[in-house]
Amino acid sequence: MYLSVIYILWIRQLKRYIRSRARIVSSIAQPLLFLVALGFGFGPIYAKAGGGDYMQFLAPGIITMSILFTAMFAGIEVVWDKQFGFLKETLVAPVPRIAIMFGRTLGGATVAVLQGFVVFLVTLFLGFRPSSIGMILPALFFMFLIALLFTAFGTAIASRIDDMQAFPLVMNFLTMPMFFLSGALFPINQLPATLAFVVHLNPLSYGVDAVRGSLVGLSHFGLTLDLGVLLLCAVVTISIGAYLFKKIEV
Residues 43-100: tens digit of each pLDDT:
788 777 776 788 999 999 999 999 999 888 877 777 766 666 555 556 555 566 677 7
CB-based burial label for 200 (10 Å; 0-12, 13-18, 19+): middle
Given pLDDT bands bounded at 50, 70 and 90, which one contains residue 235? very high
Mean pLDDT, range 104-131, rounded to an integer = 88
Please count the other Cβ atoms lying within 10 Å of the Cβ belonging to residue 202.
18
* 31-44 pLDDT, tens digit each: 888 888 888 888 78
- Decide if pLDDT at 166 tops 60: yes
> Can you give the residue ranges of every domain in the chain?
2-246
* 127-148 pLDDT, tens digit each: 899 988 888 999 999 999 999 9
The pLDDT value given to residue 159: 80
- Decide if pLDDT at 22 tops 60: no
The pLDDT value given to residue 229: 96
* 167-212 pLDDT, tens digit each: 778 888 888 999 999 999 988 888 888 888 999 999 999 999 999 9
Given pLDDT bands bounded at 50, 70 and 90, which one contains residue 233? very high
The pLDDT value given to residue 3: 56
Given pLDDT bands bounded at 50, 70 and 90, which one contains residue 149? very high
241 in Cβ contact with 156 (< 8 Å): yes
- Decide if pLDDT at 232 tops 70: yes
- Rounded CA separation 47/69 (Å): 29
- Percent above pLDDT 70 for the chain: 80
**Residue-level length of the chain:** 250
- Decide if pLDDT at 26 tops 80: no
The pLDDT value given to residue 250: 57
Measured CA to CA in angstroms, residue 56 lies from 178, 185, 248 at distances of 21, 11, 44
65 in Cβ contact with 134 (< 8 Å): no
